[in-house]
Structure formats: structure tokens, C-alpha cells
């Protein structure tokens, strides 16, 4: 079974997180969001899945423009309220 490595970038800090191996048959749309633990922010936050260098460049450009700011804030707020029971 063939696998591909996909990189994930945190929408809160913009840094590259831990890559994930995906089956070639199990693909998501470009710039798919996935909630993962960020080793830099030290909390769960949405990450953008990048399959290619073009995806990474798009993410970096969007991050610099502030495209993900609201999503990052909402993502962090959701995690905090989820655990305050």
C-alpha cells in the first residue's frame, strides 16, 4: 500500500507541525483543516494540510495576510470551552 507524507502548518503560529502519512487513496481537498496538537503553541489547534510546495506557499501567503486569524481564535476558544466541564 502506497503512502504520501503530508505536512501540517498551525494556523495560530504558522509553524510546521508533525507530518502525517496518508494512504494515496485517502486524500482530502487542498488546504484541508485538521485539529492537531501544536508542539509550539502546546495546545490543540487547526492545522492546514499541505500536499505540495505550492500548498505551503499558499498557506504562508494566507497566514501573512491574516486569513486564518479568526479561525485560529475560534479553534482555541472551542478547545478551551470543550475542556472546562
- In which band, very low, low, confident or very high, does the pLDDT at 65 lie, cut at 50, 70 and 90? very high
**What pLDDT sits at residue 69?**
87
Q: 73-78: long-range contacts (C-beta < 8 A, 24 or more apart)?
A: 75/11, 75/12, 75/35, 75/44, 75/45, 75/46, 76/12, 76/43, 76/45
Q: How many alpha carbons fall within 13 Å on the CB side of residue 74?
A: 6
Q: What is the pLDDT of residues 20-32, one digit of tens each?
A: 888 877 777 888 8
Q: What is the pTM of this model?
A: 0.80
Sign of the CA dihedral running 15, 42, 81, 49: positive
Amino acid at each position: 500500500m502506497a503512502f504520501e507524507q503530508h505536512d501540517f502548518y498551525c494556523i495560530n503560529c504558522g509553524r510546521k507541525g508533525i507530518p502525517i502519512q496518508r494512504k494515496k487513496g485517502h486524500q482530502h481537498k487542498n488546504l484541508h483543516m485538521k485539529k492537531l496538537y501544536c508542539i509550539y503553541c502546546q495546545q490543540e489547534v487547526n492545522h492546514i494540510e499541505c500536499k505540495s510546495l505550492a500548498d505551503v506557499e499558499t498557506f504562508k501567503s494566507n497566514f501573512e495576510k491574516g486569513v486564518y486569524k479568526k479561525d485560529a481564535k475560534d479553534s482555541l476558544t472551542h478547545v478551551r470551552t470543550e475542556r472546562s466541564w
